[in-house]
Amino acid sequence: MALDFPFKDNTQETSLIKHRVVFTGVIIVLLMLLIISRLIYLQFIQHEHYITLSQNNRVKILPIPPIRGLIYSRDGILLAENQPAFSLEIVPERIDDLDKVIKDLSEYVTIEKNDVERFKKLLKEKRRFESVPLRYNLNEQEVARFSVNQHHFPGVEVIARPYRRYPLKDEVSHAIGYVGRVDEQDLEQLDKSNYIGTTHTGKFGAEKAYENLLHGKVGYQQVEINAQGRIIRVLERTPPEPGKDIYLTLDISLQLTAVEALAGKRGAIIALDPDNGDVLAMVSSPSYDPNPFVNGIDFKAYRALLQSSDKPLINRVLQGKYPPGSTIKPFLGAAALAYSAVDPSETIWCPGWYSLKGSTHRYRDWKKYGHGHVDLNYSIMQSCDVYFYTLAHELGIDRIHDALTDFGFGRTTDIDIGGESSGLVPSDEWKRKTYHQPWYPGETLIVGIGQGSILATPLQLAVATASLANHGHLVSPRLVYEARDPITNEIESLQNKKQKSVSLYKESHWKTIVQAMEDVVHGDRGTARRSGMGAPYHFAGKTGTAQVIGIAQDEEYDEKAISERFKDHALFIAFGPVEDPRIALAIIVENGGSGSRTAAPIARQLLDHYLINDKINAG
């Protein structure tokens, strides 16, 4: 049988492969010689040319951070600006003995211990060739003293950079918030490539909520630098897109009036436009100056703010949770109408106390000997507790829970700047979940007068009040209404998050409740009649006095005897003018005593300011 394949000729194959390998070797040597000749050309023949290029013609790409957008109020007042400030910066790569240089520098510039600490911290985060700030906000003498001696300090420079400044200091700080240095936590949430070169980012308030509008887009420049790393000229520039200017809904003159009204007190004022939820004033008192936070507040000052029993850092409007007291009554009254739990014209007898059937416990009215015959209108006007014990008992806790939730209590209002607490509207289910205990009917009565476990933020009260003003339209509040491009002046209107309606209610229900609230102010027996006297417009309101501590049965409440901190919170909600509401308010003065005496006069002052002054302007 013939073989299909010839025998492999090993010697022939071996020599064939050997030839090819030798050929390959020759090619490899030739190609390497090509590389070597190229290297000789570059490194020997053209060396002078390239060494010059490397010394003089160094092209570097540098990021240009965008300029942060400004913040204005609706009346055009500048609330946050960028101001150049001098900082002393060090490039660590060019310094041999950092500690010695810092010590020497302190002869010309004040350098405190916390400056050094902050510098050392920043040093770890930055790369060695990046300049690290040692001191911010040098004054002119310091700049001059350093500049004269700069030649002693290679690698140390005074650099003018724009820093955020809040001209109104503590007067709008809770609304605007502030910017601070970008930290690692921020970087996780930010687009890193867009934040190359950006040192500050919004930390709280509108500065944080509108960070993406305010920041803008990073730019680049290609520059020639010399051997010392100094820029000789700019070759090409992709300019940054500056951040958008944002306009707050705040009416600054109203805001300042509110700040003044709360001066020296702890409390909160929030004013809304009931039509669109625009925040006209937002004051939490006491407040703080945001300017020191921009470049890192020193630890001692920060601790003082943090530990102060007045809690200046807390925005009470969004985060303060208070028992609403009697200000809850109009909403419960509306709920009772909607569920047909009461007939508005029917009266009950108020002897000054209320007892559940089969119990001897007396739930007291604020008026010791009672209001006598009381209908719904009178019960709101006079803030009769017994009427609302009865009403709450009729409604039951679950219907109260549903109705109050409908008015926005117990959930966030979706204000654009965020950071609010949701308060609490108790229910049977809530109590079983939280305390593993059933709900007792007595607790319903307490909730009926806005005490017990129910908690609301001033913002929730204002939003709910606005919904009474516009007959059931629940607006979500906003602090920023538009953004403008600083170059093109193009205006971008910002929309509210969502608009809801309070369901269940009829027009007649709104009229009944609003009438009762108008009578609180303008009726001859209204609890706030003194604040309504002589007003050229009609407004509606409701006083509230929330107990801070429980008062035992039959114990007299002696305002003078108990310490300041245990005094009742004074509350007032209002809107006006009644026929065409343009402003809705919620005011709380912590430990202010009574709503009618402390909070209502503030409301009158603000309404006068907003409604009368505006009329003059319009006229």
Partner 1 sequence: MEEKTLAKRLHIDVPLLFGLLVLCGIGLVVLYSAAGQDLQVVFRQAIRMGIALVLMFCVAQFSPIQLERWSLWIYLGGVSLLVAVLLFGDVGKGAQRWLDLGFFRFQPSEIMKLAVPMVIAWFLAGNHLPPTIGRIIFSCVLVIVPVVLIAKQPDLGTALLVGAAGFSVLFISGIGWRFITGFSLIIALCAPVLWHFMHEYQKRRVLTFLDPEQDPLGAGYHTIQSKIAIGSGGLYGKGWLNGTQSHLEFLPERSTDFIFAVFCEEFGLMGVLLLIVLYMFIIFRGLIIAVSAQQTYGKLLAAGFVMTFFVYVFVNMGMVTGQLPVVGVPLPMISLGGTSIVTLMIAFGILMSINTHRRMLSD
Using CB under 8 A as the binding rule, whether residue 8 contacts partner 1 is answered as yes
Q: Which residues pair with 85 in a beta bridge?
A: 161
413: nearest Cα among 450, 453, 457 = 457
**Which residue pairs from 501-504 have beta carbons closer than 8 angstroms and sit at least 24 positions apart in sequence?**
501/472, 501/473, 501/474, 502/406, 502/407, 502/467, 502/472, 502/473, 502/474, 503/406, 504/338, 504/339, 504/403, 504/406
**Which lies closer to partner 1 via its Cβ, residue 123 or residue 225?**
225
Span 129-168, contacts to partner 1 by CB under 8 A: 129
Number of H helices, E strands in the chain: 23, 25
Contact in structure between 350 and 370 (CB atoms under 8 Å): yes
Q: Are strands 71-72 and 245-248 parallel, antiparallel or unpaired?
A: parallel
CA gap 116, 120 in Å, rounded: 6
**Are residues 283 and 606 in contact, defined by beta-carbon separation less than 8 angstroms?**
no
User: Which of residues 128 and 530 has its CB atom nearest to partner 1 in the complex?
Assistant: 128
Q: Check residue 429 for interaction with partner 1 (CB under 8 A).
A: no
Asked if 34 interacts with partner 1 (CB under 8 A), we say yes
CA 70 distance to own-chain centroid? 16
Contact between residue 574 and residue 603 where contact means Cβ atoms under 8 Å apart: yes
Nearer to partner 1, 31 or 306 (CB): 31
Q: What x/- string results for residues 291 through 330 when contact with partner 1 is judged by CB under 8 A?
A: ----------------------------------------
Minimum Å gap between C-beta 125 and partner 1 is 16
Q: Which residues contact 284 (CB under 8 A, 6 or more apart)?
A: 174, 267, 268, 314, 315, 316, 317, 320
Q: Which of 326, 379, 476, 594 is catalytic?
A: 326
369 binds partner 1 (CB under 8 A): no
Tell me: does residue 21 bind partner 1 (CB under 8 A). yes
Count of chain residues binding partner 1 (CB under 8 A)? 48
**For residues 56 and 308, which CB has a smaller minimum distance to partner 1 in the complex?**
56
> Which whole-number Å values give the CA distances from 323 to 28, 113, 331, 431, 587, in the listed order?
88, 45, 14, 17, 13
Token reading at 377: 């209108």
CA distance linking residue 270 with residue 251, whole number of Å? 12
Q: What is the C-alpha separation between 230 and 64, in angstroms, rounded?
A: 16
Shortest Cβ 30–partner 1 spacing (Å): 11
- Residue the block writes with tokens 């009204």: 261
The pattern of x and - marking residues 80 through 119 that bind partner 1 according to CB under 8 A reads ----------------------------------------
Contact in structure between 206 and 482 (CB atoms under 8 Å): no
Binds partner 1 by CB under 8 A, chosen from 5, 309, 357, 358: 5
Query: CB atoms < 10 A from the CB of 137, how many?
Result: 14
Say which residue the tokens 């009260």 belong to.
461
DSSP helix/strand/coil, 87: strand
326 is catalytic: yes
Applying CB under 8 A, among 54, 110, 501, 553 the residue interacting with partner 1 is: 54
CB of 452 to partner 1, least distance (A): 55
Q: Pick from 35, 552, 616, 618 the residue near partner 1 by CB under 8 A.
A: 35
| Position 234 contacts partner 1 (CB under 8 A) | no
- Spell out a b/e string for 171-189, using b for 16 or more CB atoms within 10 Å of the CB, else e: bbbbbbbbbbbbeeebeee
Q: Pick from 3, 11, 44, 618: which binds partner 1 (CB under 8 A)?
A: 44
Residue closer to partner 1, measured from CB, 24 or 553: 24
Single out the residue of 199, 222, 404, 612 in contact with partner 1 (rule: CB under 8 A). Answer: 222
Which residue's CB is nearer to partner 1, number 222 or number 405?
Answer: 222
Residue ranges with strand state E in 13-151: 58-64, 71-72, 78-90, 132-135
Q: What is the smallest separation between the CB atom of 45 and partner 1, expressed in angstroms?
A: 9
Q: Could you say whether residue 51 binds partner 1 (CB under 8 A)?
A: yes
Q: Among 2, 3, 6, 124, indicate the residue that binds partner 1 (CB under 8 A).
A: 6
- 228 versus 437: smaller Cβ distance to partner 1: 228
Nearer to partner 1, 230 or 433 (CB): 230
Q: Using the rule CB under 8 A, is 125 a contact of partner 1?
A: no
Per CB under 8 A, residues contacting partner 1 are 5-6, 8-9, 13-14, 16-21, 24-25, 28-29, 31-32, 34-36, 38-40, 42-44, 46-47, 49-51, 53-55, 57-60, 127-129, 222, 225, 227, 229, 235-236
Would you name the residues annotated as active-site residues? 326
